[in-house]
Amino acid sequence: MKEKGNIPEILRRLKKEYPGARTALRFGTPFELLAATILSAQATDALVNKVTAELFRKYRSVKDYAEAPLETLQNDVRSINFYKTKAKNIQACARTIMEKFGGTVPKTMEELVTLPGVARKTANIILSNAFGINEGIAVDTHVKRLALRLGLTRHEDPVKIERDLMALTPQKEWGTLSHLLIFHGRNVCLARNPKHETCVLSDICPSKNL
């Protein structure tokens, strides 16, 4: 893939553009990040942060989520789309963590993906942001779009995209790359009408003139 040599330059430029880029989700503990990530599917980070500000004050431990009446937990997150399913998954995760992992969020990909509603993308987010472990690269819609536009992959499947990005990027930068692409996707490389004129990657982006 001819664009693979651009990864160091992409990282350099985006780090300068978005210094300190990290997840926009607010959390204090690994389980809070897990809950916030579950809630964030097809919802804005701003809305999730608004909901979790109250949620995290009310529920202080994994045990609290595991033992809460489900209807109460659902009501606490009802302003989020698909709130009933998301609340069920949060509680099911809490109960599984209590029963199988001694109340502590596990730190491996293999264990995290056994939790209800947790797939590889969510597990990558938890590992990178809560534990500083770069097991893989979280591929959301922004990462997918930018990876394709920048010529870093030819695939549409997130697992294959992740594999391509991991092969091109130093492991220590995996978590950083995901955050940088998300920030750039939200601010400049929009799904519709990307802002080529203000893009710091425009001269090395193969999709600029497409």
Express each pLDDT in 152-208 by its tens digit: 999 999 999 999 999 999 999 999 999 999 999 999 999 999 999 999 999 999 987
Express each pLDDT in 102-136 by its tens digit: 999 999 999 999 999 999 999 999 999 999 999 99
130 part of a folded domain: no
Q: State how many domains the chain has.
A: 2
35 to 12, 28, 29: CA distances (angstroms): 32, 11, 10
**Are residues 18 and 54 both part of a single domain?**
no
53 part of a folded domain: yes
Which CATH number goes with the domain that contains 57?
A: 1.10.340.30
**Are residues 78 and 143 both part of a single domain?**
no
**Are residues 152 and 87 both part of a single domain?**
no
Q: Mean pLDDT over residues 69-81, rounded?
A: 98
**Are residues 163 and 186 both part of a single domain?**
yes
Res. 3: pLDDT tops 70: no
**Are residues 53 and 12 both part of a single domain?**
no
- The band of 1, judged by pLDDT with boundaries at 50, 70 and 90, is very low
Q: State the SS3 of 83-150.
A: HHHHHHHHHHHHHHHHHHCCCCCCCCHHHHCCCCCCCHHHHHHHHHHHHCCCCCCCCCHHHHHHHHHC
192 part of a folded domain: yes
**Does the pTM exceed 0.95?**
no
Parent domain of 157: 2-22+136-204
Which CATH number goes with the domain that contains 17?
A: 1.10.1670.10
**Are residues 37 and 97 both part of a single domain?**
yes
Question: Would you please indicate which residues are annotated as catalytic (active-site) residues?
Answer: 121, 140
**Are residues 36 and 100 both part of a single domain?**
yes
129 part of a folded domain: no
* CA gap 23, 123 in Å, rounded: 14
In whole numbers, what is the pLDDT of the chain averaged over residues?
95
**Are residues 68 and 89 both part of a single domain?**
yes
Q: Mean pLDDT over residues 54-83, rounded?
A: 98
Q: Mean pLDDT over residues 37-50, rounded?
A: 96
Q: Mean pLDDT over residues 29-45, rounded?
A: 96
**Are residues 147 and 181 both part of a single domain?**
yes
194 part of a folded domain: yes
